[in-house]
Chain A
Amino acid sequence: MRYAMAVDTKKCVGCSDCVVACQTENNVPIGYCRDWIVEVVDGTYPQLELEIRSERCNHCANSPCVRCCPTGASHYSDGGIVLVTHDECIGCGACIASCPYDARYPHPDGYVDKCTFCIHRVREGQQPACVEVCPTKCLYFGDLEDPESDVSKVLKKRKYKTLIPEAGTDPQLYFLI
């Protein structure tokens, strides 16, 4: 099993519904977020291009954050999902510094928090909260080892890229372009 997510930049409108839904699903405190939107504008008026991306933890197969965690709180779980066990986390922030995607934040309760791919929902056979809410249906989630999963099918059909591949982290968040 290898969980992954694909984001269709051709459909995402940058509405941030995925951000709000994640906050209310996962008790993310106001002022923090596990996912966020990046817009990249290129060109000069009127020759312009705009790419909109909903970003979050890349659940890298070769995660610097798991490697550098001194307590083992950061670990791989089902299907390669990168998790933090809150009560083992001492909040030292080594993982925050090591993540090339800036995907982690220090929770005010003293531990480090980040996207979990909504593992609590996935284990119940549901989609992650952001995937389920997205009005443009531009997020695809599933098991890459299952050729019938939404994410496998869309990655077969479409061109895609990953972010900062040169960091060698083997990211599992794919952007359809």
Chain B
Amino acid sequence: MTYENILIFISNHIMKSTRRDFIKIAAVGAGGLATSGGLFSWARANFFEEVPNAPGMTRTPTYCEICFWKCAGWVYKNEKGEIQKIIGNDEDPHCNGRLCPRGTGGVGMYYDEDRLKTPLVRRTVNGKQVFEPASWDEALDVVAQNLKKVAKEHGPECVALFTHGSGGKFFGDLLKAFGSENITAPSFAQCRGPREVAFLSTFGEIIASPERTDIRDTRCLVLIGSHIGENMHNGQVQEMSDAIDNGATIITVDPRYSTAASKSKYWLPIKPSTDIALLLAWINVIINEEWYDKKYVEKYCYGLEELKNHVKTFTPEWAYGITTIRPDVIYETAREMANASPAVIIHPGRHVTWYGDDTQRLRAVAILNALLGSWGRRGGFYSPEKKDLPSYPHPEFPKPKRTWRDAHPGKYNLALEVVSNDICDSTIPSPDRACNFKAWIVNGTNLIFTLPDQKKTLEAIQSLEFMVVIDTMPMEITGYADVVLPECTYLERYDYCRTDQHREPNIALRMPAAEPKYDSKPAWWIAKKLASKLDLDEYFKWNDIEELLDWQLKKVGTSLEEMKKVGVKKFPREYDDLYFYDDQEIQFNTNTGKIELYSTDLAAEGFVPMPVYTPHEEPQTGFYRLNYGRSPVHTFSRTANNPNLTDLMDENVLWVNPKVAKEWSLKAGQKIWLENQDGVLSTFPIKVRITERIRFDSVYMVHGFGHAEKRLTRSYGKGVSDTELITNVKTDPIMGGTGMRSNFVTFHVEDPHRKEVES
């Protein structure tokens, strides 16, 4: 009965065995260990008894760049001036003094000896393309010349910027000054876009980041595929733990027994891709039993009668046949939610681009929240506020003649941000477009691992006249660039202050704790220098970043000097309260001024105004649905080479149900190759983890591994890239999001690449 008694699980726990390996190596020759080398000189600190030296430490403020949560912290340096550790800032509402493992391990990003070290320019030498090291001046000249050429021949609008991270704001300013508004982040169309569009069309406001979920005070938290605790969105993980302490009910819907599922009162092991049916059944029960918040719905909502009619047939019995969740469980969990109302959260999730009908699924989530009256209520969704800093004075940006929307007129009208994959599509020349994208600037996003359908991404890149990549690491995307610019890490630079929303408006400062290593430079410096070479100096009139930041900070009553001391500063709320008060008159920012159960926006665009369930593709015999997710110690592929974090987990593994393993005679730890429904083979093999925690019809892996770039010495060839196996993309017609969970894999126990060569 007990298949997995005392499983010392791979990832973090591997160190138990890694430690053994190291012992062996140490016996052979201790001198060869990384620990004795220059990587972490502090690791050699020679201390007496057991007390590491604390005195002489100095600290500078930062906010973390390892993920988008941007926790504020202090970078501590030892008396030799070396960065030793990063500790959360107690005043910071994003982290409450506690960074997550990635943020704590952020030191590894700075010390990583595989970092990009100098500007590189692609040149042809003896008929072979190579990267030649260049000075900044040379490299930026090449960038400026090429961008000018594209602007002259095709118009500046044919340049697009892909960015994910703080530095992107400076390149965004540069691109706008240059004459293009095509600035895109994969965080919209490959991630949270559907929820933002769904919540905007329902409540007239988006969720944004950090999520406005009041988990701390909730009495019932419903997670649908959202694996908080494995995704280490710091504030939410902390608040979920508070909710557990407070005795809140957690309901987790997931085909995989996630960490969150193990903390839940109810785990609903749903058949993958059927979530909308479950949501509709919950809505059906809550309306039929009249468990919805009548006063709230009557006062604030639009379309209750239409919704009642719409869900009449979506009974728990109907949903049972689709989801495999028993009707009594659907009924009982609906009652749990209603009992907790309005302190209940049907969590909108974050990475929600799954099946192409994602906006509609998130609409169902929004509707359920509306019926239970949780929007604007304690323990539900609070009203966040942020402190905006004014822009440094600059001339008005030129008005571009075209934007990305002109490439496909009438498509994705409800998209709130530029659709990254659409930029990719419209880079591949097509006769029915006046202009294609001709140049890309890519900053801090490894598009090869970010965008699904790698073949298309590569085709788009091959169609470009010019691509410059600005990154800290030699990620795959840099290999396709014409110019590579080494950005310094967040521990070595200033950026714009963090101004994200929270319960209390607040700002956080990032300042350099150390000089940039190698010949790397901060984004602000690169953008300003490039602006100068593009004759756009007037848009970057500040002399250096400190002047810019101090000017902004003084406008809101603080200063760079004060921020250096405190790191985080909170401001009083200026607008409304955190929650609605009783009987408050509210004009919602929707067409009807109400919370729209029936969406007039969607109806006007020709989409169904209320969500429906549509069946999705199912695996063929011998194939398993490829599900992917997050590890608490990694952020996408961004951290895959970080020495501290690869120490915890240096490869992903494939979760396989024991029944499936038996059928295929797979052994735990055995390396296998994967092939997807379109015949795409994984480049590398992946180790099998046999576990009861996964359904028999799916497999699971952590995203971001399987790097094929040899310059990433710690992550090259470790595990499998889920992205290379995602070739069946289900595009959300409403907002352009790329649904990535309709891909299926089968196994090869022998290296199929070798077979190819032999035959």
Residues of A whose CB lies within 8 Å of any CB of B are 10-11, 13-17, 19-21, 23-33, 36-46, 48-50, 52, 83-87, 102, 105-106, 108-109, 116, 119-120, 124, 132-138
Q: Contact mask B1-43 → A, CB, 8 Å, 1/0?
A: 1111111110111011011001100100010011110011011
Residues on A with C-beta less than 8 A from B44 are 27, 109
CA distance A160 to B35 in the complex (A): 38
Residues on A with C-beta less than 8 A from B691 are 41
CA distance A52 to B36 in the complex (A): 33
Residues on B with C-beta less than 8 A from A135 are 98, 100, 232, 234, 237-238, 241
Q: Contact mask B263-281 → A, CB, 8 Å, 1/0?
A: 1000101000000000000
- Shortest distance in angstroms between B691's beta carbon and chain A's nearest beta carbon? 7
Find A20's partner among B42, B47, B104 (CB 8 Å cutoff). B104
CA distance A20 to B104 in the complex (A): 6
- Shortest distance in angstroms between A51's beta carbon and chain B's nearest beta carbon? 8
8 contacts between A and B (CB under 8 A): A11-B245, A20-B101, A31-B22, A39-B8, A48-B692, A85-B49, A87-B48, A133-B99
Q: Is the CB of A37 within 8 A of B12?
A: yes
Q: Is the CB of B35 within 8 A of A30?
A: yes
Q: Is the CB of B19 within 8 A of A32?
A: yes
**Taking the complex as formed, is B105 at the interface, i.e. its CB lies under 8 A from any CB of chain A?**
yes
- Shortest distance in angstroms between A75's beta carbon and chain B's nearest beta carbon? 10
Q: Is the CB of B15 within 8 A of A32?
A: yes
Q: Is the CB of A13 within 8 A of B230?
A: yes
CA distance A146 to B692 in the complex (A): 43
Q: Is the CB of B633 within 8 A of A15?
A: yes
Q: Is the CB of B19 within 8 A of A30?
A: no
Q: Tell me which of B432-440, B642-650, B679-687 binds A.
A: B642-650
Chain B positions 659-696 with a Cβ under 8 Å from a chain A Cβ: 691-696
Q: Is the CB of A17 within 8 A of B52?
A: no
Q: Contact mask B492-521 → A, CB, 8 Å, 1/0?
A: 000000000000000000000000000000
CA distance A41 to B84 in the complex (A): 36
CA distance A32 to B645 in the complex (A): 12
CA distance A19 to B15 in the complex (A): 10
Q: Is the CB of B50 within 8 A of A31?
A: no
Residues on B with C-beta less than 8 A from A85 are 49-50
- Shortest distance in angstroms between A118's beta carbon and chain B's nearest beta carbon? 9
Residues on A with C-beta less than 8 A from B643 are 30
Q: Is the CB of B48 within 8 A of A16?
A: no
CA distance A94 to B40 in the complex (A): 29
CA distance A80 to B269 in the complex (A): 46
Residues on A with C-beta less than 8 A from B9 are 14, 37-39
Q: Is the CB of A15 within 8 A of B229?
A: yes
**Taking the complex as formed, is B532 at the interface, i.e. its CB lies under 8 A from any CB of chain A?**
no
A27-B52, A45-B657, A86-B49 are contacts. A38–B692 as well, Cβ < 8 Å?
no
**Taking the complex as formed, is B757 at the interface, i.e. its CB lies under 8 A from any CB of chain A?**
no
Residues on B with C-beta less than 8 A from A21 are 85, 104
- Shortest distance in angstroms between B600's beta carbon and chain A's nearest beta carbon? 40
- Shortest distance in angstroms between A96's beta carbon and chain B's nearest beta carbon? 10
Q: Is the CB of A48 within 8 A of B644?
A: no
The 7 A-B residue pairs whose C-beta atoms are closest, nearest first, are A29-B35, A13-B229, A50-B262, A136-B241, A15-B632, A16-B12, A24-B85
Chain B positions 223-263 with a Cβ under 8 Å from a chain A Cβ: 229-230, 232, 234, 237-238, 240-242, 244-245, 257, 259, 262-263
**Taking the complex as formed, is B45 at the interface, i.e. its CB lies under 8 A from any CB of chain A?**
yes
Q: Is the CB of A52 within 8 A of B50?
A: no
Q: Is the CB of B26 within 8 A of A136?
A: no
CA distance A26 to B13 in the complex (A): 19
Q: Is the CB of B19 within 8 A of A33?
A: yes
Question: In this complex, what residue of A is CB-closest to B659?
Answer: A45
A33-B15, A45-B257, A45-B695 are contacts. A15–B232 as well, Cβ < 8 Å?
yes
Q: Is the CB of B33 within 8 A of A31?
A: yes
Residues on B with C-beta less than 8 A from A83 are 49-50
Q: Is the CB of A116 within 8 A of B693?
A: no
Q: Is the CB of B692 within 8 A of A43?
A: yes
**Taking the complex as formed, is B107 at the interface, i.e. its CB lies under 8 A from any CB of chain A?**
yes
Q: Is the CB of B51 within 8 A of A120?
A: yes
Question: In this complex, what residue of A is CB-closest to B18?
Answer: A31
CA distance A135 to B536 in the complex (A): 45
Main secondary structure of the interface of A (DSSP, over half): mixed
**Taking the complex as formed, is B604 at the interface, i.e. its CB lies under 8 A from any CB of chain A?**
no
CA distance A146 to B244 in the complex (A): 26
Find B257's partner among A10, A15, A50 (CB 8 Å cutoff). A50
Residues on A with C-beta less than 8 A from B7 are 39-41
Residues on A with C-beta less than 8 A from B107 are 24
Residues on A with C-beta less than 8 A from B11 are 16
CA distance A10 to B262 in the complex (A): 9
Residues on A with C-beta less than 8 A from B647 are 23, 30-31
Q: Is the CB of A36 within 8 A of B267?
A: no
Q: Is the CB of B36 within 8 A of A48?
A: no
Q: Is the CB of A133 within 8 A of B98?
A: yes
Residues on A with C-beta less than 8 A from B54 are 120, 124
CA distance A133 to B50 in the complex (A): 20
**Taking the complex as formed, is B88 at the interface, i.e. its CB lies under 8 A from any CB of chain A?**
yes
A15-B229, A116-B50 are contacts. A45–B45 as well, Cβ < 8 Å?
no
- Shortest distance in angstroms between A50's beta carbon and chain B's nearest beta carbon? 4
CA distance A42 to B13 in the complex (A): 18
Chain B positions 120-143 with a Cβ under 8 Å from a chain A Cβ: none
Find B33's partner among A13, A50, A108, A136 (CB 8 Å cutoff). A108
Residues on B with C-beta less than 8 A from A36 are 12-13, 15-16
Residues on A with C-beta less than 8 A from B4 are 40-42
- Shortest distance in angstroms between B537's beta carbon and chain A's nearest beta carbon? 42
Q: Is the CB of B244 within 8 A of A11?
A: yes
- Shortest distance in angstroms between A34's beta carbon and chain B's nearest beta carbon? 10
Residues on A with C-beta less than 8 A from B100 are 15, 17, 135
A36-B13, A48-B692 are contacts. A31–B42 as well, Cβ < 8 Å?
no
A16-B12, A40-B7, A50-B259 are contacts. A45–B229 as well, Cβ < 8 Å?
no
Find A137's partner among B13, B238, B633 (CB 8 Å cutoff). B238
Scoring B23, B42, B86 by chain A CB atoms within 10 A of each residue's CB, the highest score goes to: B23
Question: In this complex, what residue of A is CB-closest to B78?
Answer: A27
Q: Is the CB of B22 within 8 A of A15?
A: no
Residues on B with C-beta less than 8 A from A39 are 7-9, 13
- Shortest distance in angstroms between B524's beta carbon and chain A's nearest beta carbon? 28
CA distance A10 to B448 in the complex (A): 38
Scoring A23, A30, A43 by chain B CB atoms within 10 A of each residue's CB, the highest score goes to: A30
Q: Contact mask B61-95 → A, CB, 8 Å, 1/0?
A: 00000000000000000000000111110000000
